[in-house]
Amino acid sequence: MAEIPPAVRRALDEGRDETRTLVEWLAIDQAKLLASALPTAGFAAAEVKAAASAQRANAANGITVRVKQAGAIVHGLLAGLPAARRRKACAALAGHRSDMVRAFLCYSHLADHGLALAERLAAARRFAADAAMSVRECAWDSFRPALRRELQRGLVLLRAWVADADPNIRRCAVEGSRPRGVWTHHLEPLKADPSPGLPLLEPCRADPSDYVRKAVANWLNDASKSDPRWVRQLAARWRRESRCAETAWILRRGLRTLRRV
């Protein structure tokens, strides 16, 4: 972080630029960023000051926790607005130059406990298609807890996503439903029986996007750690039915844990 040029650091803290690396994302002063971004959404000086102060109190927490806490602060501000003003404020934050500001808005939906699963997925969709990978990661994380609670329904709702023309949307559906994941809660039913996730994997087994293929491979690798037999059987069928380089690449990467045991 010390190697980030001061001018770059100021631009990030003031929301005048997007992050280019994880280190830049980690280095942002989120309280300063809120103080810079919220006025563009029409919030009054007193509201902005209180929001920045609240986020400053969260400074000792981990990065993901802090971004979610900023999202909760944004949710609280938005919830107090009339509908028309709320839509205008959301549009300003959704179109903000800073990818972290857009992530704040994404996580504001996580803090909205009144949203049904379908509404939560609809809210996450715009962030799943964001140009910044940092925001796309927040998109699936914003609906993962709700998916965990209503897994069967969520897997059905996500089927439309894997048919979307945008590879970012397809990837989000696969990544968001991984049985294990890296920095998220596990989906225990899918660890015990991965088969309900198959309708999300089948349409992507020869996907032209390497971004999607990596997610499919990681999904299979997750499943192989608890149900290797299911993954081996699926791999054998895919080799017969989909004899192309894309499927072969997915299977090489997806079976990497099994090759080590």
**What SS3 string covers 98-167?**
CHHHHHHHHHHHHCCCCCCHHHHHHHHHHHHCCCCHHHHHHHHHHHHHHHHHCHHHHHHHCCCHHHCCCH
Cα distance between residue 201 and residue 210, in whole Å = 14
Say yes or no: 43 and 56 in one domain: yes
197: its two tokens: 């996730």
Domain-ending residue, one of 89, 113, 137: 113
Span 102-131, average pLDDT: 96
**Does residue 261 register a pLDDT over 80?**
no
pLDDT per position as a tens digit, 185-238: 999 999 999 999 999 999 999 999 999 999 999 999 999 999 999 999 999 999
The predicted structure's pLDDT at residue 52: 97
Average pLDDT, the chain: 96
Say yes or no: 7 and 99 in one domain: yes
Domain-ending residue, one of 113, 130, 157: 113
pLDDT per position as a tens digit, 25-36: 999 999 999 999
Which residues, at least 6 apart from 158, have a Cβ–Cβ distance to it below 8 Å? 121, 173, 176, 177, 200
Say yes or no: 106 and 160 in one domain: no
Say yes or no: 249 and 161 in one domain: yes
**Does residue 58 register a pLDDT over 60?**
yes
Tokens 């803090």 belong to 111
- Of the candidates 125, 128, 142, 123, the one whose C-alpha atom is nearest the C-alpha of residue 64 is 142
- SS3 state of residue 52: helix
The predicted structure's pLDDT at residue 259: 84
217: its two tokens: 């491979």
Cα distance between residue 28 and residue 56, in whole Å = 12
Domains in the chain, number = 2
Say yes or no: 195 and 105 in one domain: no
The predicted structure's pLDDT at residue 182: 81
CA-to-CA dists, residue 225 to 191, 218, 230, angstroms: 8, 11, 10
Say yes or no: 147 and 199 in one domain: yes
Say yes or no: 77 and 206 in one domain: no
Cα distance between residue 202 and residue 186, in whole Å = 21
Span 90-116, average pLDDT: 97
Span 159-168, average pLDDT: 98
**Does residue 104 register a pLDDT over 60?**
yes
Domain-ending residue, one of 71, 96, 113: 113
Contact 34, 55 (CB under 8 A): yes
Cα distance between residue 162 and residue 211, in whole Å = 13
Say yes or no: 58 and 94 in one domain: yes
At 187, which CATH number? Answer: 1.25.40.290
- SS3 state of residue 242: coil
Predicted TM-score (pTM) of the model is 0.92
Say yes or no: 82 and 104 in one domain: yes
Say yes or no: 166 and 104 in one domain: no
Give the domain extent around 102.
1-113
Cα angle value 36/46/16 (rounded, 5°)? 5
Cα distance between residue 67 and residue 72, in whole Å = 9
Say yes or no: 149 and 103 in one domain: no
Say yes or no: 107 and 122 in one domain: no
**Does residue 67 register a pLDDT over 80?**
yes
**Does residue 64 register a pLDDT over 60?**
yes
Tokens 């944004």 belong to 74
Residues in the chain: 261
3-state helix, strand, coil in the chain (%, to 5): 70, 0, 30
The predicted structure's pLDDT at residue 179: 97
**Does residue 260 register a pLDDT over 80?**
no
